Structure 1
């Protein structure tokens, strides 16, 4: 007959809204920091005899995505969630259709788009101060481990045993061992591009392989494009020193080019409509076809023309059926060609769906938002010219889409002085 009275919150105990806010911040910090660090944690445990496996890495990624969903539920649905939700369901349907047509199960496209959608949605809800603090902490961690790697490589190998971990978690057929204890591709080879400043293998820091580290530097540049005006001088110095050190020690052509492009773009991007980013992909592909056309003999050489020639050759060799329905049997041979990777794993419709998302979901109302939108698009579309999976790895993609989502909400509203 009588309702049970609800007790007021005890002294010192947060109320409902405050409780949810605290839980969300805890979830945010976990899903922001763990994607970049979990491989290093598992590798360190593996080095101490606690054998890791691919299942452990998959379980961690699945747990992180589940925690992203929990964080979003804590704060309730929002109108802007429609974009990420549509992307996720589109990817799910596309993955099912492609798998049925190709008579095999291949969930990578769904997993890749789930990362994009989940972290965009969490970014909507995050405070820019939390995002700023996350980047500060991660930059410090990456820098400290990078310095250990540069100054005392045997200690770095002893801490993480990268080759052993990648063998256990990825399989020997993908990650060949060598006598340095490092991932084989980090060792490099004679004649490969190098600034000649640091001797020794290409650096990897907490990412354990040489591709994700310059990817982290590129994502850090996108963060700086949108937040340069309001981060402290010490944060600016930390991030800039780290980006330059990564570029010089990793000898990555793509991240070097992105550093120069975005330095100039910081001043140009605010005057460009975000919708114009849709033109970057066709311009990149058209340029590659024009440049590579008369130099097909460079196919496979490890220089800019050689890497572009792989993309051009792979796209030209696609049949109409493979464009429309995908070709999952070709996925493992498409990792050096991002556009081809997206097409064979999800068909041309998957590539177009991702292109539409990149064009319309990021905000472009303020100068800071346009800087991030253009930085995002330049990074994604350029990197897809020479690599298939790097822009989708959770190690760096989580941070990237947190920044993009955050700029849609409070992160894009800078002080008047920044406008």
Structure 2
């Protein structure tokens, strides 16, 4: 356990979290400053962060953890032999979540709460700087050139030639939230694009509404400020659902956490059945929350059994349909089995009310996010913090949970 007096360990974990969250901001600054190779460093840099987290968490010294990883790796490799288009990078997504969760179990909850506050404060600070002085911000962080160098956007797109931000930094038709006050710009902050800023804000909201720390409602409010700055429709909708779910009795919260993803997949199938025309190819008709949910449902409904078992690649890209992506690369039975085992473990045994609430919040977050995006839920810049927070509460049994005295010591 990384206790409040474990200064070196705390600083190391905090450094890993900051690097995981703001890695691309640093690489973008290096690229803008003239280091042309910076964009190509993101994969080895993420690998180094993950390796450091593995060492610090003790993952490699736990035979059970290593055996579990070996079994999953063998399964995915065998699946790849049957379906050559199966995406092996999904192993990285699973490993990231497990390693940072394991690292979280070594941390004191007072410390991770403080870390979440510090990171949110930093993200807000960079976001305000970006919004207040976009030209000055662009001198240090030319996001457009960075993503162009990574090959993620077309540098020849004429309609965006006069910007240094990501394409989605200005919403077509204007902002949805406080456009009259904030103008048309959507804040990207350390994440370089506003979608991830919104996802991060939703995760912070989930934590602060669940963990009963000092002045937590101030931090809930600051999370909402980040939602507004990013003009994230997903984060706004997700936070509303979380706020309602937080008021449920503990027994209902546990049940809802287990059923969140199966229920959402069922709803998507119903939507797909109502909207999909036989023989047609599913497409995103409108690039908004409703349009993406409709697309995700149609993709799932259009599949045959071999697609559900990951024995054949999806005939339609799943880049914007996360549940379909996981089902078609893991096999739907394995995907649901992993989810159910993780959730059942989390609701079993004596757990604090804070843990129960946060697990439900994460369930809602992943269930909704995977309905409108593909792999954004597994991005290190948000997933590392999410799983570390969950691990810290997961290691706290009822009777050994929130301790105001310990928290004051950790916050000192």
Q: What TM-score does the superposition give when structure 2 sets the normalisation length?
A: 0.84
Q: Residue 194 of structure 2 aligns to a residue in which SS?
A: coil
Q: Residue 414 of structure 1 aligns to a residue in which SS?
A: coil
Q: Which of these residues, 355, 360, 364, is aligned with residue 339 of structure 2?
A: 355
Q: Give the aligned partner of residue 208 of structure 1.
A: 192
Q: Give the aligned partner of residue 64 of structure 1.
A: 49
Q: Give the aligned partner of residue 172 of structure 2.
A: 189
Q: Give the aligned partner of residue 321 of structure 1.
A: 306
Distance in 2 (alpha carbons) for counterparts of 1:87 and 1:357: 13
Relative to structure 1, is the Cα distance of residues 350 and 180 closer, same or farther in structure 2, using a 3 angstrom cutoff? farther
Q: Residue 163 of structure 1 aligns to a residue in which SS?
A: helix
Distance in 2 (alpha carbons) for counterparts of 1:106 and 1:67: 24
Q: Is 1:397 aligned to 2:383, yes or no?
A: yes
Aligned positions of 1:10-409 closer than 5 A:
23-73=8-58, 77=62, 82=64, 88-103=69-84, 106-172=87-153, 178-190=161-173, 193-194=176-177, 196-197=179-180, 198-227=182-211, 229-230=212-213, 232-233=214-215, 236-237=217-218, 239-268=219-248, 270-272=250-252, 274-291=254-271, 293-295=273-275, 299-327=284-312, 333-362=317-346, 365-409=351-395
Shift of 1:349: 4.1
Show CA shifts across 1:6-51 (max 9, x none): xxxxxxxxxxx99x95553343122222110111111111111012
Distance in 2 (alpha carbons) for counterparts of 1:159 and 1:167: 16
Shift of 1:267: 2.3
Q: Work out the number of aligned pairs and report it.
A: 391
- Assess if the C-alpha contact under 8 Å between 1:358 and 1:377 holds in 2: no
Shift of 1:162: 0.7
Distance in 2 (alpha carbons) for counterparts of 1:31 and 1:313: 39
- Assess if the C-alpha contact under 8 Å between 2:261 and 2:367 holds in 1: yes
Q: Give the aligned partner of residue 402 of structure 2.
A: 414
Distance in 1 (alpha carbons) for counterparts of 2:269 and 2:245: 25
Which is further off, 295-304 or 106-115? 295-304
Distance in 1 (alpha carbons) for counterparts of 2:199 and 2:156: 19
Distance in 2 (alpha carbons) for counterparts of 1:402 and 1:396: 10
Distance in 2 (alpha carbons) for counterparts of 1:337 and 1:256: 19
Q: Residue 341 of structure 1 aligns to a residue in which SS?
A: helix
Q: Residue 342 of structure 1 aligns to a residue in which SS?
A: helix
Q: Which runs of 5+ in 1 are unaligned?
A: 1-16
- Assess if the C-alpha contact under 8 Å between 2:206 and 2:239 holds in 1: no
Relative to structure 1, is the Cα distance of residues 134 and 342 closer, same or farther in structure 2, using a 3 angstrom cutoff? same
Q: What TM-score does the superposition give when structure 1 sets the normalisation length?
A: 0.83
Shift of 1:351: 1.9
Q: Residue 396 of structure 1 aligns to a residue in which SS?
A: helix
- Assess if the C-alpha contact under 8 Å between 2:76 and 2:330 holds in 1: yes
Q: Residue 208 of structure 2 aligns to a residue in which SS?
A: helix
- Assess if the C-alpha contact under 8 Å between 2:296 and 2:324 holds in 1: yes
Shift of 1:414: 2.0
Q: Which runs of 5+ in 2 are unaligned?
A: 278-282, 406-412
Shift of 1:115: 0.7
Show CA shifts across 1:34-79 (max 9, x none): 11011111111111101245541011111111111111239964xx
